[in-house]
Amino acid sequence: MKLSSPMDAWKYLPGTNCKECGEKTCLAFASLLLERNKKLEDCTPLFEPKYASKAKELAELLAPEIREVEIGVGARASKIGGEDIMHRHELTFYDRTSLAYDVWDTMAEPELRERVKGITLWRKFYVGEFLTLDAIAVRSVSSEAETFARCVKHVAEETDMPLILCSFDANVLEAGLKEVSDRNPLLYAADKTNWQEFLALAKRYSVPVTLFSPDLDTLNSLATTFAAAGIDDLILDPGTYPTGKGLADTFSRFVRIRRAGIVDGNKSIAYPLMAVPMTAWMTNGNQDALDASYWEAIIADMLILRYADIMILHSIEPHSLITERTLVANIYTDPRRPVSVDPGLMEVGSPTDESPLFITTNFALTYYTVESDLSSSKIDCYLMVVDADGLGVEAAVAGGQLTADRIKETVASYDAEKKVTHKTMVLPGLAARISGETEDATGWSVLVGPRDSGRIPGWMTDNWPPKT
């Protein structure tokens, strides 16, 4: 965005401090706009006719440096790009890298439908929510228009996810596009030879289109030409070479394009970037699938960190999906979000005075993990959250932030003695080292629980209620 201080944005606001946005002053709202914690639409008075020109100017000034392109429709539509910064601590990364997994038109129909269903329904619980995947890339392997169209049709019947239609042949691509023209699919890809036909397709169907060229002069020329023709829902693929010098050059292209867009403010190349880690499969994918899936995840890793806004992957094995999607969740977590939760004595389910009392630390991730393990297993209990300066259990024990004294203070502060009659607490297995001291300091009985809270149900069978 083009603004650097809240005052710059404030000049465009009505300045009436009407509080309709939920903030006390227009200036407070302006600073939240800059942090991207509020949207312009939250200022309803700004959309009265008399402010029309100010609203328009401010919207332009607030627009992210990297264009935001939407693919797909409905609840699962995916926003791509929209970034303003080079490093996440400068603010936060914004639209998380969309992960697209491939299907191809030479697959047998039942196999195809099953794969699409698998990608669509995949989910993993993580810090209070389910992670899901983002898109499906349909590849034309047959190079036959009819075969491709049929495949696209079948895919569309099985999923509501955004689709990426992949062929360098405009005729083949259009056959597929006709099947899903109302679903805002992404076209892949225009290059230096076919671009005129792709330009016409993107215009005729008004859908976003990918431009491909590892030569950055050509890529910039393609983007400039498309933009001049009025097509700016563009995504750039600078080529993903899987190994050797090609891999190093790929890394370099992604960084330099993003730097040109954000640091140098070069609008002609400030579009979302696409990576294709599935090129890892072209070197030895048919010899060793496990190695290929690892190498694919490695390429995904380096390009999730360095500026890919959308990527196409092949392995849908659980180990691939879990690692790739978790990394995206980590890198796109807002670093301004607090690291810690408040200490206290939480109730999980409906505990009684005979329910167990578990100890954990106030690192947000630790707390949410333990809390979800307990509630998912329907264990009624107390969870006592000790202030460990926002560190996880293992680190806090090593660093002296989770100590017998702090546990003692927490027990006293939250009247734990009045909640349970058994005066027994369960320490995390990773805090076994301080169990003796804790017993001495608190006067409670201390049981050492499992090293991972996922194993609490099994542990309960053998250890609760405590043997007297």
Partner 1 sequence: MRKKITFGDLASILENYDIVELEDVKIEGDMEVELSPSGAIPPSLIQVLQSMLNEVDKQVEATLSTRKSLIQVLQPVQYVEEKKVAVLERAKFEVAKAAWIGKIEEVTIGATSADGGTRESTVTIGGEKSLPFYNFDHQMPYPPVISVDCFDMPIPLAKAVRGFYEDVMEDPGEWAKKNVREFGADMVTIHLISTDPTIKDTSAKEAAKTVEEVLQAVKVPIVIGGSGNPDKDPAVLEAAAEAAAGERCLIASANLNMDYERIAKAAQDNGHVILSWTQLDINAQKTLNRYLFKLGVPREDIVIDPTTAALGYGLDYAFTNIERMRIAALKGDTDLAFPISCGVTNAWGARESWMKGSPLAEDSDWGPAAYRGPLYEIITGLTLGIAGGDMFMMMHPKAATAVKRVTQMLFGAETDGAKGVNVDEWVTWEANK
Q: Which of residues 31-60 bind partner 1 (CB under 8 A)?
A: none
Could you say whether residue 194 binds partner 1 (CB under 8 A)? no
How near is the Cβ of 421 to partner 1 at its closest, in Å?
29
Binding to partner 1 (CB under 8 A) within 147-176 occurs at 166-168
C-alpha to C-alpha distance for 269 and 259, rounded to whole angstroms:
10
84, 94 contact by CB (below 8 A):
yes
Burial 411-441 (b: 16+ CB within 10 A, else e): beebebeebbebebbbbbbbbeebbeebeeb
Site string for partner 1, 13-32 (x = CB under 8 A): --------------------
What residues have CB less than 8 Å from 46, skipping those under 6 apart? 12, 13, 14, 40, 54, 55, 58
Among 212, 254, 382, 464, binds partner 1 (CB under 8 A): 212
How many of the chain's residues bind partner 1 (CB under 8 A)?
Answer: 118
Site string for partner 1, 335-364 (x = CB under 8 A): x---x-----------------------x-
Could you say whether residue 455 binds partner 1 (CB under 8 A)? yes
How near is the Cβ of 179 to partner 1 at its closest, in Å?
18
Among 8, 20, 68, 301, binds partner 1 (CB under 8 A): 301
**Cβ of 267: how many Cβ atoms within 10 Å?**
15
Applying CB under 8 A, the span of 67-75, 154-162, 300-308, 409-417 interacting with partner 1 comes to 300-308
Binding to partner 1 (CB under 8 A) within 61-90 occurs at 87-89
Could you say whether residue 412 binds partner 1 (CB under 8 A)? no
Tokens describing residue 373: 């393990």
C-alpha to C-alpha distance for 346 and 57, rounded to whole angstroms:
48
Could you say whether residue 283 binds partner 1 (CB under 8 A)? yes
**Cβ of 287: how many Cβ atoms within 10 Å?**
8
Could you say whether residue 429 binds partner 1 (CB under 8 A)? no
Q: How far is the CA of 358 from the CAs of 84, 361, 374, 420, 449, in angstroms? A: 42, 10, 10, 12, 8
The nearer residue to partner 1, 44 or 106, going by C-beta atoms, is: 106
User: What sections of 3-95 are H helices per DSSP?
Assistant: 6-10, 26-34, 52-62
Of 4, 34, 37, 38, the residue nearest 21 (C-alpha): 38
How near is the Cβ of 13 to partner 1 at its closest, in Å?
32
Could you say whether residue 113 binds partner 1 (CB under 8 A)? no
Among 1, 27, 61, 322, binds partner 1 (CB under 8 A): 322
Among 3, 282, 447, 460, binds partner 1 (CB under 8 A): 282
Could you say whether residue 263 binds partner 1 (CB under 8 A)? yes
Could you say whether residue 279 binds partner 1 (CB under 8 A)? yes
C-alpha to C-alpha distance for 70 and 59, rounded to whole angstroms:
18
Q: Quick check: helix, strand or coil at residue 316?
A: coil
φ and ψ at residue 235, rounded to 5 degrees: -130, 135
The nearer residue to partner 1, 218 or 463, going by C-beta atoms, is: 218
Could you say whether residue 254 binds partner 1 (CB under 8 A)? no
43, 29 contact by CB (below 8 A):
yes
